[in-house]
Structures are given as C-alpha cells and as structure tokens.
A and B are shown apart, each in its own frame.
Chain A
Amino acid sequence: MRPFIYIHPQNEKEAFTAALATENSKYLGGGTNLLDLMKEDVERPSQLVEIADLNFNKISEHESGGYTIGAMLSNADTANHQKIRENYPLLSMAMLSAATAQIRNMATNGGNLLQRTRCPYFFETSMPCNKREPGTGCGALNGMNSQHAIFGWNEKCIAVNPSDMCVALAALDAKVLVQKPEGDSRTIDFKNFHRLPEDKPELDNSLEPNELITAIELPEPMFSDHYDYLKIRERSSYAFALISVAAGLQIKDGSIAKAGLAMGGVAHKPWKLTASEEFLTGKKPTSENFKKAAELAMKDARPLSDNSYKIEIGIKAIERALTQAFERKA
C-alpha cells in the first residue's frame, strides 16, 4: 500500500475541514472495497477520513410513512433491522444475498452505494481501463466480457455496477441524502445517483468532490407483501450476480397498482426497468403480463461478444422474480 494520511474526526465539521485541506481525500466507511482497491494500487488516495464516529447510524421513520437509513449503519444491521424486514423485505433480501456475513458486518450503506466495479481490467493496473486511468482504452471490449453490460455501455466502458443493495433501492425509488462540505445538503433521486459511462467512465456517480452521503430515504412501503430478489450466480453465496432482479408489486383489487422493477449485473448503474413498470401498472398479475414485461425490459439489450446469455437468462429471471413476488405468502 502507498503511504497516506489517516484522520479520525469526532464530528462532521472536523471531517469536512480535513477533507477540504488535502487534495485527493476520501471518506472511509467500512473499507471493504476502498482498502482492497488501495492494496491493489487501483485507488491511491492521499488521505482517508474515517467517518465511523459521525452521527449517521440511525434508522428513523418519517411522518409520511417512509424511512431514513443512516449511511454509516452496517449492511448487516440494516438488513436485519426489524422495521426494514417488515416494511422493506425486498431491500433486506437483496442486501443479505450480497458478499459474506463478515463483509456485511463491516460494509456501510453509504459505502455500498460507492462500490466500484468488479471488472478485472479495472482491478489489474497493468491493463488498459478508462475507468481507472482515463484515455488508456477499454481492455474488456475486445477481451473477456462475459460478466459485462448489455445496457447503456459505450466503447469507453462496458463495466457493470456490482451492488445488490442498489438494485433493490432502484426498484424502491429511494433517494440519497448528501451533504456538501460547505454545509448545504441536497437530495438525489436514486435513478440519477449512479451514471452511465458516457464520456466520463471514471465517474461512477453524480457526487461532487468531498460531498458526503449521510442517509438513504425510502418512500412509504409498498412492496412489503409482494417482492422478490432473484440473484443468478455461479455459487450460492459470496459471488457477484451474473444477473439479478429486484421485483416489487403492490396489488389492489386483483390488479397491479404499482410495480418496482430493476436489474443488476447488466449496466454501469442499477438498471431500472421503467417501461416494464409502466406496462404492468393497472394490469392483472398474470404470467402472460409478466412475460410481456420481461420481454419489454430486454428489448433494447445490446450484448457483447461473450454475454448474450444475459438476455436469455434475463427474460426468464424477470418473469420468475415477478411470479415469485406475486405468489409470495406474506
């Protein structure tokens, strides 16, 4: 590892002051991704600001019926929280499918949103990668790309976002609360938090320099009865998704009042299936409609040389997730 400054502030003010004082500073949450990448020489921050002691570790209910979950709460404590299990079982299920118990104990909610891609070209500093080193090219494009994107990619970057939690948050229409070092705060709609590679594949999200995620806001619970997180992977735990689907349905009077649908492992960001959600709204929860929604979701997929299987499995996975969500016995 390269030498770096380590700061352990006791409050927000100290944290922001420290972050602003040193160029190329990063906040340290659980460190399950950042420290790994520093050991690999991929991330090279000159300073780490430990934010463990800042007061962002609560889960609270709003008057409107939604919840706010703190950015510094661990993935394990969030997923296992009684209120989250009751009201957002889709989120809990997605989070518990991720990584290992040990990693979930360390990883924070804010950190999960900032997880970097697992693209092997990103991890190996001797290979070209526009995300790690802009301008060097994308090694995966004409290399090994079976794990890569089928939506939203361009020749600059074909990497996928690895998070499970974020797929559920996309389906749930969450919001991300962010604080600027100068003191202002802002709210970012989840669908706008992560970005597509476009001409800046080095940027995974829309955070400004030194902005800090403080919380995630969840709207009023809608999918607590009908939900499913389906994760297709090479082994039963501790494997990133080849493809995953988060599906939530609100059923009223035998029809779908609201649908939340997103996919993981298919794009540079959690891929919200807006057209399928709109298609399902107001329809009957039949296998025929689920199939149509799935086909609609995959209509614009653009596979790479090694990953057309993602379309094949993707259609089946969306159908299956919707069916299992509908048939779930609360």
Chain B
Amino acid sequence: MGIGNAIDRVEGHLKVTGKAKYSSEFQIENKVYAQAITSTIAKGEIISVDTSEAEKQKGVLAIITYKNAEKLKTSDKKLPVLDVDSIQPVLQSPNIHYYGEYIGLVVAETFEQAQYAARLVKFEYKKETPKINFKNHREDAYRPKEESDYSRGNVEEGLAEADVKLEMTYNTPIEHHHPMELHAIIATWENGKVKAYASQQMIDNAAKTIAKTFQISKENVRVISPYVGGGFGSKLAAKQHVILAIMAAKKVGRPIQLTVTRNQMFTNTNLRQYNEQKMRIGAKKNGTLTALSHETLSHTSTYEEFQESCGAVTKMLYKVPNNLVTHRLVPTNLQTPFAMRAPGEATGSFALECAMDELAWKLKMDPIDFRIKNDTQTDLSNDKPFSSRLLKECLRIGAEKFGWKERNMEPATKTNGNWLIGYGVSGASRGAPYQKTSSKVILERKNQTVYATIQMDATDIGTGSYTIIAQTASEYLKIPVEQINVELGDSLFPVTPGSGGSWGAASFANGARMACLNAIKELKKKLNVGENEEISVEKLLTDNKLDKFEAEGTAEPSEEFEKHSVYSFGANFCEVWVDKDTGMYRIKKMVNVGACGKILNPKTSFGQIIGGLTMGAGMALAEQTRVEPNFGNFITRSFADYHVPVNLDMANIEVIFLPEEDKIANAMGVKGVGELGITSVAASIANAIFNATGKRMRDLPITPEKLIMAKKEIGVA
C-alpha cells in the first residue's frame, strides 16, 4: 500500500494479456482505412496529380491531395515556432519542403486496398535544389530568439585568466524517437464533433491542436488515449496524420483508421536535429573553472522553427564566473525537429561533460575531483538557490560503488588480451518541473469496503503513471491499492499537463493527492469533524450516510518553488572494453546514481533509468539517421538500419537512488526520472573510450569505423 513501494504495475496484467487497448485497436463500427502518400523530392512543387488509376481500384473511397483538401488554419509567419499545441496544417499547397512530406491520402474499405491504391497515385514535380546539410549553409544561421543567448561575466577575459584552456567541437547526429507503438489514430467526425482515439502523450494539447487547425471549439473535440506504447517526445503534440485522419473522416463520413508506418515515422513525427557544439573551457592550475562557453549550431526546417537548448545545462551545472551560451539555427529542407527525450540535456551534456573530462585530463586531475571542486549550491544563471542538489554525493557514492579507484589516470594502460579497458564518468542534471494538475476522485462504498476511482487526462506512456497514481491515492485515502481504479487518457477528465518533460510523476501524484485530500476534507466538514482528526474514509462515508462521493483537486507550484532552481542530479559511471584492432567495444558495467526526490515506486523508477541509460548508450554506440546528401532522403529506413542497442550491447546496470527530501519541489517531494537517465550517458561512454584508447571521440555515434580511424590525442603516451 502507499507510495515508496516497489509494487508491480497495476495495469501489467491487462498489457500482457492484450486487454489494454492502444489507439489503433479499438473496434469501431463501419471503420475504413487510410494510407498516407509522401513526397519523393526534398524541395519543389507538385505540378500534376494523376489519381485516375488509383480511383479505379476496388474499395477506394476517397483520394485527398492539396487540390481537394479542406482549407485549414495556416500560419502567416514564415517560420512559426513549433510547440506542443501548434496548428498542424497539411495538404494546403503544392509546395514541397522536404523528402517524405505528406502529399496525399487514400481512403479505402481495407488496409490493403488503401496501401495499394496509394502506390498508384502519380505525382509530377518541378524540382529545386534543396539545402540538406546545414554546415554548408552557415551564412543562413540566425538567432531564433533573444533568450537563445545567455552570458555572465566575460568569457574572453575568463579564458585569458586560465592556466589551461581548450576549444573543441562536438557533433551529435539526427536521431529518431521511434517508440514501439506506431503513431496511429481512429477518427470520427459526427455533427461537427471530433472523436479521436489517438496515441498522444498530452491529451489537452492534442485537443487544442485539432480545434485550432479545423477552427472549431475545443469542446467539440474529444481525444482518447488510455495506453501509449512509448512516445519519447514524438507524441507530445498531435502531428499532421491526426489532422489527415480527421479531414478524411469528415469527407467520407465514416470512422478512419490511419497508422503512420515505421518508414513514415522517420519523416513525419519529428526528429532530434544535428547539433554542432563548440565548447571553450578554461581553468586555473588548481582546477578552478574560469570560463565556459557553449555555442550551438543546429538546423530547423524551412517552414517551422524549433530550437533545442543544448546550452541549458552549461549555464547552471558548475560554478564558473564567466559563461556564454548561444544557439543558432539554419533552415534546411528537412522535417522540423522537435523535443526528444531530454531535449537539450541529452545532447548538450555530451559536449559539456566530455569537455569537463578533457580539461580534467589536461589538468592531471581526477575528473570527479574536478567536478566537485566546481560544485555550487546556487544556480548562477538566475542566482536562485537549488531546492536540493546532491551532485557531489552522487559522484562520491557512485565512485565507491563502481570501484573508481581502479582507474588509471593515464589512458590506454589497462588491458586484458585484445581488450583495452577504460572507465568514464559524467555528471548529470535535469530540471524537475511540475505543473498545474487537476484530478477527480469518486469514492464508492460497497458494504464495508470503499473503492476509489481517480480520473485525470494524464497518460501512461509506459512509464507507470497508472501505478503511481494508484499508490498515491492509496497513501492519502488510506485504502489498499487493490481498491483503487485509475482512469486516464480522456479529454473528458480533469486537465493535466500530460506526459513529457519529466513532470508527469510529480504533477499527476500531487494532483491525485489534492483530490483525495479534498474528498476527506469535505467529508469531514459535512460532519463537523476537525481536519486533523484520524478517521477512515469508510467511516466518513458511513457517518455521512453516503454510498458515493466525488471531489476534485488541483495542485500547482508554490511561491517557494518559483524562488528556487529545482533540479534532479545524477552521475553515471561506465566501464568500456574496446577491441584494439576492430574498434568494436562493449559496455561492461554501468553504475548510475540519482538524487531525484521521493521515489514513488522503485520498480517503475528503475525501469525509467534503465531505459534512459540504454537510450543514452544508443546515442553513443550507433543511433543515427543518415541523410542522403544529394537527394535529401533518410537512408536509414527501418529498425534494420536505425540501430538501437540490443541486449548484448548493454551492461550490468546498477541504479542507486539517494534518499532526498525536497518539499520545495512540491508537496510530495517528487521529481521526475524520465529524462535524467539519458543525460550524460553518452559522455560517460566517450570518456571511458578515451581512458581505454587515448582517442577523443567527439562525433556521435562512436562506430567501429570511426574509432579505428581516429588518432590518439596529443600527449597520450
């Protein structure tokens, strides 16, 4: 019962028995199928569309292209900022912005008919030369907004003061979210009302996007998403396929099922963009940082703007008086990037934590000592105190558990047969945001037993939301988890911020808590019982002569929260074995220590961290979407080409959560763990590879071909 226990997922049985329904699994009467068509050029214009052959096919109900698509709300800005509730116009013009853009949709009675007919629609283009590689178009770079730049002190002066300084550039490739569950929707349009079973992380934002794009009232939009098979940011916002399906439902007058194929998920559900990060860093001989500069060049699309804040961590993680952070974007003919797990932190920490390791080695300092030397309890980017910060403790305790003292400072000196053995470390931090969240509790008394139902439009994207919400209700209603039913993912329920940005656990738990506390408070008030009196919820209902009672509650950040910098902190340690001849390597061991507030359920939290570490290992090892330089298409087209780590790649993983009491963060002291795990993992692996081989690998992923061709760092024996 209650929070803090490692109970199994409350919805686990439904999932393993196939009873948990994902969005494309709802059996809707009269349903038909849609298949999207995508562009095969990266820039230009459609000059003709021939649907004659496709129309003749059996079962075909409609073919929609820009010629006959419904007029939707479009932006009048050249580069509107892409957000979680932005409009998603689609098929509004013959212009092509990138390879793989939606250019049409076929609706047919069966899936196979739709797929085949989609292949028969012929498009002719007028091609233009696309801008593919942002590095070839630096002259187009621009500052997206004033807040894209930050500085304190003077970096040039700080570098001049330094005894040791370095300048390096780190590159991270395009990556894709690729949750296991494909993006999918079943949409109906009846009497001006939309109903959408859609795989989304944020219900309310999806409803907003649909309402704004079709220019209808949000009250006429219902979004249902009870189970989501992963999102990693790609399902934060409703994407164009959601709009396509609704458009088709309106046109055909029947429910439409549209599934985005795995291949289409490379080009239509966003991506993590290329980042070129230039780091400049300097310190005194004793290890005191004097300057830290982090300048990021990325791409956006030619039709929307998205900026990932790679420098966010660099502003606040270490005590350095002179700090500069900038972000610049180059519009290219690729799909608009968008948030992917730990946007900014995952990529920015690779540059920052590798740079810290590089400077530590130049200073002949242990990288842990170097980090601790520059620790701070104040966030220098806003002069606010941290609500809690156990970075030092994460590093020290992790070092002990990992066996850090076995590490040789000098690279390429520890071997076993053909293997070169290296140890690496990195520090990590991720904001612990928390947002206004509402929830409803319905109490029902049957005989002497009270059952509770918690409702909110929160989602469970595989993280364990159902379970921690049930545990929270159990904690505050003081009834067993088995008597609690949690209902999520429906826009009819009270509004939450949804799953994303690591705020889910804190927001949902505190929202559920408020509803439960309000229920008890109201029931006590009706009886004129003192608020602090211990009295069971069963007795409260009985004494009130009630069989059923409902209450709502809303939790939101406190004034204290606003006065502090609220973060989770962590450290990752890893041992890597590199084959000296082939460049293949194995991650042998990882120890991850996190200080992330009150852990609601160690089992689901471990799952989150292990998943994050694996995704971080993927960044280091192999994950990358390759762009064809002449045609602008992605040559990584499936999971056969887009390499995520396999079981054999992963290490023995030890996850440690430090006990942390942070009531400033929120009433329950909960901080998210969804993104802390991935942060800095790639850096710890790259640092371990340096320790093993003496080679600095500054371009992700670190593949055998790159590793074998790389030269040892100057100064390595």
Chain B residue numbers with a CB within 8 Å of A236 are 586, 646, 648-649
Separation of A112 and B418 alpha carbons in the complex (Å): 32
User: Which of B417-470 touch A at CB < 8 Å?
Assistant: 418
Place the interface of chain B in its size category.
35 or more
Chain A residue numbers with a CB within 8 Å of B119 are 2, 41
Q: A123-B637, A234-B621 are in contact. Are A309 and B708 (CB under 8 A)?
A: yes
User: CB within 8 A of B646: which of A127, A235, A242?
Assistant: A235
Q: A235-B643, A235-B646, A237-B648 are in contact. Are A120 and B709 (CB under 8 A)?
A: no
User: How many chain-A residues does the 8 Å CB contact rule pick out?
Assistant: 36
Q: A120-B641, A237-B646 are in contact. Are A312 and B584 (CB under 8 A)?
A: no
Separation of A316 and B116 alpha carbons in the complex (Å): 48
Instruction: Give, as a whole number of angstroms, the nearest-CB distance from B219 to chain A.
Output: 42
User: Which of B78-135 touch A at CB < 8 Å?
Assistant: 112, 115-116, 119
The reply to whether B708 and A313 contact each other, CB–CB distance below 8 Å, is yes
Chain A residue numbers with a CB within 8 Å of B633 are 124, 126-127
B146 interface residue (CB < 8 Å to A): no
Q: A120-B635, A124-B633, A320-B582 are in contact. Are A235 and B40 (CB under 8 A)?
A: no
B622 interface residue (CB < 8 Å to A): yes
Instruction: Give, as a whole number of angstroms, the nearest-CB distance from B351 to chain A.
Output: 22
Which of A140-148, A206-214, A247-255 lines the interface with chain B?
A140-148
The reply to whether B704 and A235 contact each other, CB–CB distance below 8 Å, is no
B383 interface residue (CB < 8 Å to A): no
Instruction: Give, as a whole number of angstroms, the nearest-CB distance from B349 to chain A.
Output: 23
Interface string of B41-57 (1 = CB under 8 A from A): 10000000000000000
A1 interface residue (CB < 8 Å to B): yes
Separation of A309 and B584 alpha carbons in the complex (Å): 13
Chain B residue numbers with a CB within 8 Å of A309 are 705, 708-709
Separation of A316 and B583 alpha carbons in the complex (Å): 10
Separation of A317 and B704 alpha carbons in the complex (Å): 12
Separation of A308 and B706 alpha carbons in the complex (Å): 11
B193 interface residue (CB < 8 Å to A): no
Instruction: Give, as a whole number of angstroms, the nearest-CB distance from A163 to chain B.
Output: 14
The reply to whether B637 and A146 contact each other, CB–CB distance below 8 Å, is no
Instruction: Give, as a whole number of angstroms, the nearest-CB distance from A165 to chain B.
Output: 17
Separation of A120 and B645 alpha carbons in the complex (Å): 21
Please name the residue on chain B nearest to A309 by beta carbon.
B705
The reply to whether A316 and B582 contact each other, CB–CB distance below 8 Å, is yes
The reply to whether B709 and A312 contact each other, CB–CB distance below 8 Å, is yes
The reply to whether B704 and A242 contact each other, CB–CB distance below 8 Å, is yes
A3 interface residue (CB < 8 Å to B): yes
A238 interface residue (CB < 8 Å to B): yes
A30 interface residue (CB < 8 Å to B): no
Q: A309-B708, A313-B708 are in contact. Are A235 and B582 (CB under 8 A)?
A: no
The reply to whether B40 and A126 contact each other, CB–CB distance below 8 Å, is yes
Chain B residue numbers with a CB within 8 Å of A312 are 708-709
A152 interface residue (CB < 8 Å to B): no
Separation of A237 and B622 alpha carbons in the complex (Å): 12
Chain B residue numbers with a CB within 8 Å of A2 are 116, 119
The reply to whether A3 and B116 contact each other, CB–CB distance below 8 Å, is yes
Instruction: Give, as a whole number of angstroms, the nearest-CB distance from A198 to chain B.
Output: 25
Chain B residue numbers with a CB within 8 Å of A139 are 628, 630-631
User: Which of A53-104 touch B at CB < 8 Å?
Assistant: none
B629 interface residue (CB < 8 Å to A): yes
Chain A residue numbers with a CB within 8 Å of B115 are 1
Please name the residue on chain A nearest to B99 by beta carbon.
A126
Separation of A238 and B643 alpha carbons in the complex (Å): 9
Main secondary structure of the interface of B (DSSP, over half): loop
A275 interface residue (CB < 8 Å to B): no
A20 interface residue (CB < 8 Å to B): no
Chain A residue numbers with a CB within 8 Å of B559 are none
A233 interface residue (CB < 8 Å to B): yes
The reply to whether A232 and B646 contact each other, CB–CB distance below 8 Å, is no
Interface string of A223-267 (1 = CB under 8 A from B): 000000010111111111010000000000000000000000000
Chain A residue numbers with a CB within 8 Å of B703 are 234
Interface string of A100-141 (1 = CB under 8 A from B): 000000000000000000101101101100000000000100
B16 interface residue (CB < 8 Å to A): no
B626 interface residue (CB < 8 Å to A): yes
User: Which of B579-611 touch A at CB < 8 Å?
Assistant: 581-584, 586
Separation of A107 and B450 alpha carbons in the complex (Å): 56
Q: A1-B112, A234-B622 are in contact. Are A146 and B635 (CB under 8 A)?
A: no
Chain A residue numbers with a CB within 8 Å of B630 are 139, 142-143
Instruction: Give, as a whole number of angstroms, the nearest-CB distance from B174 to chain A.
Output: 14
The reply to whether A313 and B637 contact each other, CB–CB distance below 8 Å, is no
Separation of A239 and B622 alpha carbons in the complex (Å): 10
Separation of A234 and B584 alpha carbons in the complex (Å): 7
The reply to whether A144 and B629 contact each other, CB–CB distance below 8 Å, is yes
User: Which of B623-658 touch A at CB < 8 Å?
Assistant: 626, 628-631, 633, 635-637, 640-641, 643, 645-649
Separation of A234 and B701 alpha carbons in the complex (Å): 10
Interface string of B545-589 (1 = CB under 8 A from A): 000000000000000000000000000000000000111101000
The reply to whether A234 and B631 contact each other, CB–CB distance below 8 Å, is no
The reply to whether A144 and B705 contact each other, CB–CB distance below 8 Å, is no
Interface string of B612-627 (1 = CB under 8 A from A): 0000000001100010
Q: A234-B643, A234-B704, A237-B646 are in contact. Are A317 and B581 (CB under 8 A)?
A: yes
The reply to whether B646 and A146 contact each other, CB–CB distance below 8 Å, is no
User: CB within 8 A of A143: which of B628, B645, B647?
Assistant: B628
Interface string of A3-36 (1 = CB under 8 A from B): 1000000000000000000000000000000000
Instruction: Report which residue of B418, B628, B709 has the largest number of chain A beta carbons within 10 angstroms of its beta carbon.
Output: B628
* 14 CB-based A-B contacts, threshold 8 Å: A3-B116, A118-B641, A124-B633, A126-B40, A143-B628, A144-B628, A232-B584, A235-B621, A235-B645, A239-B622, A242-B704, A309-B708, A317-B582, A320-B581
List 5 tightest A-B contacts by C-beta distance, closest first.
Answer: A236-B648, A120-B635, A126-B40, A316-B581, A309-B705
User: Known pairs A234-B621, A242-B704. 11 more at Cβ < 8 A?
Assistant: A41-B119, A118-B641, A126-B40, A127-B633, A139-B631, A232-B583, A234-B643, A237-B647, A238-B646, A309-B705, A312-B709
